[in-house]
Amino acid sequence: MSTSELQALVGLAGAPVVAALVSAFVKPFMADARFYPAAAVVLGVAFNLALAVVLALPLVPAGILGVLAGLAASGVYSGAKSAGMLGQ
């Protein structure tokens, strides 16, 4: 598997992980839901940069994919909430 393929796989796999991290670590401590998307982007970048360091991948693409993973996690959560799939 080439470096670019591994990088893309790590970035794509980050969205559900970021959504789970926001649910587990951000929601209990942050009352204002307006900041959940920003927290998802920050966690997405942190998660992907940490994986890039561990796997010795380039950091700039990992940061960009982290932003995209955070935005995807935020969109998935928003869509599920508006569809009534979440008990809120």
List, for residues 35-70, the tens digit of each pLDDT value: 888 999 999 999 999 988 988 888 998 899 999 999
Model confidence band, residue 87 (pLDDT cutoffs 50, 70, 90):
low
What's the whole-model pTM score?
Answer: 0.81
Per-residue model confidence (pLDDT) at position 41: 93
Say what angle helices 59-82 and 3-21 make with each other, to 10 degrees: 40
Rounded mean pLDDT of the chain?
A: 83
Residue entry with tokens 């960009």? 64
Where is 36: in which H helix or E strand? helix 36-55
Residue entry with tokens 């926001």? 22
Cα–Cα–Cα angle for 79, 82, 84, rounded to 5 degrees:
110
Query: What secondary structure letter does DSSP report for 70?
Result: H
